[in-house]
Chains A and B, each alone.
Chain A
Amino acid sequence: MTINSLQRCKPLLGTFVEVSLQGNCSEQALLNYSELAFDELTRIHGLLSFHDKDSELSQINIKLIAQPNEATKISTELSEILSLAQSLFTFSRGLYDLTIAPSLVFNEQLPNHLSLSEKAYGNFANLKFDNNIISTTKPLCLDLGGIAKGYAVDQAVKKLPPELEISINAGGDLYQNNWQENSVAVRYAKQYFAKRNIPMLNSALATSGNYYRNGKSAFIEPITKEQKKLHGCISVFAPSVMLADALTKIVLFMPKHECRTILELYNAQAFKISRFGFIKRF
């Protein structure tokens, strides 16, 4: 047997998802494995997309707005995401909040297919969930934009045999199983040459930046509801992509000394790269 490799890319999760596999098996076997990964990514996209009116998330959002006090059953996938989001909400004293969706809609960063009107919505503290049952004391709306891409990558990786060399990159949310001694280029501005090479420090890396957004910020501070400016980018290395994806927002909003504690707790490392390419480690 010889070592074969395969690289595929599909438009998924609202961005470009690249799956690279290498291993001691036939090219056809690699293709089949990549199909498994893409099928899983498509499935999770179908469940958790805010943009898709028929997704489970959109259906649950309709209920959380219309009948907040009624208990609703949610999928295991959503429940897994919400439990991490809940811990992060607590640790960050409300600065990591998935209920920011209405503000993002009014800021034209998300489509308004739920016909949200400008009124006060609840936050994550109003959300009650126990295993697979969810309810809220105030109408609210969830957006998983800052966590679900990472989760989808983690789930896709689980479908693949670990003896393969796996690399999945979902619009900057990157997973590599053999990350040791690898390096990665982090893009800190939209120009193609604005990249910094840094060594991989863990199996997952997520980067958040604003430079493709034409001046509008996709980052809204959940408590003050103010747009947060970010020149350059924030990158977080963590043991899972979901965690790395979520922690980039915590690093963005929390004071440096406070987010250090959270990063240590989750065994993560964070960097901020300025728009001129200077790296600062947290």
Chain B
Amino acid sequence: MSGQMLHGLATLIVAVSLAGTAPPLEGKPQPTSQSSAKSAKKAARRAAKSAASADSSQPFPDASPERVVSVTEKVFPAVVRLDVAQEIYSEGKRNLRRGIGSGVIIDDDGRILTNYHVAGRAAEIYATLANKERVPAKLIGDDHWTDLAVVQLDMETVKRKNITFTHAELGESRHLIIGEHVMAIGTPFGLARTVTLGHVSNNERTFYPDRMRIDEQETGDFANWIQMDTPINPGNSGGPLVDMHGKVVGINTRGGGQNLNFAIPIDTAKPVIDGILRSASAEKKGRIDRSDLGMDLKPMQDLETFYGIDINKGVLINSVDRGSPAAKAGVKAQDILLELNGNPVNVRFPEEVAPAKKAIADLPIGSEVHMSLRRGHDILQLTAKTQKLEGAVGEEKEMKVWGLSVRDVTRRYANEQQLDDDLGVVVTTLSNGYPAAKAELRSGDVIRAVNLKPVTDIDEFIKLYEESVKRKDPRVFLQVRRDRGQQSVILKVNYEQEAAEGPPAKSPVKGPATRASAKP
């Protein structure tokens, strides 16, 4: 099976494609008589309720028809459809990408848990509740590393319209047993309030050594996945995976087709929710900060004999990033990390990589870490100071007048691209016909200076850009790094032309009347 196949995000049906793919909804079966249908429903509910209460002591109750109905009734009012416009940069501009996903309400204050790839970087969110009411919502914070985001329902609208909702109860994913029944609720292909049923196929799925990305951003480094055969499809993303007690055990995230689907364990999500809510404020989005030592870990499996290590002890250092805390502390590739602050780190199998990475990520940022390592036959004690974890994708902005979008060069990006340092901004996209494209700037170029003033980071670049536009510089001199070489680029900016593309200026007819008919 190809690893690639498993990695398709389950979300985001783009609005355009929805119209074409959604099956027709007309032709619903009509109840023969309203009253008989009602009484049948009532009876079923009673049966379901008794089923749910009787089995609450069982660790993994059967998915009897009654229980499936009772779980559905319990969770349904907490599941929402999310219509999201995400901020993306393309053709040198900030654009919005519309998509549909799912989410689950997690408290009485109207907070919704969903995927980063559904609602992260959202500029606009609408939540449709189980009772079909549509409520505006706002992004509280997001975390691409775990592919999670927390969204706030607009409670004023809720109050004003007197809308009711309930929240789902969060369970414990560590108690999941392979083979037990789990249900997914969500909005596959935009079909809101869809319930599906399946089993836990595996509760510690890893894709190691493959690395996953969401729009270039790293994800899935710090946790294994729940694998289930519960059908999910694009649009299910962000919706809850629930056990037969009706508790949320996971967030449906990836679909592999052929009944291979993956959810983020709720135990992974809980500290992320807390962290996002704790760090969020009215001005700033909530986020999770993690620690980094700048080393890549590899399972010891089958290498113990070579390195002369007891089975199940330590983790192999596969690689050490240049200039990272680990490199500064003197850690080398092929060292074996045995202990971190006195706690053993054992990675024999690929499934153990994510927990070990999480142990490093959870260390306080800037703290001293004592590492016990083995190199050849020696045991070394080294101390490193953690630094804040950065992704490869830096903050992105558009420079409208120049017709390009740029990203901050992060440490990790610099390391991946083997740049000398993390100074400058990297060109991501270009608008055709605008100065940057005309000057043949390319995606991937690192801009190091504007008019001979050095660009340290994106904030400095924005400042230099805004000053230049304000001055109406007809020529802007950029010093650029492309591959391993230096280049000089001149942007020729025609401010009249850029202005002309804005709203048409009021122009009273001054000349002779014939002018009015002159061709543009």
A and B from one complex = no
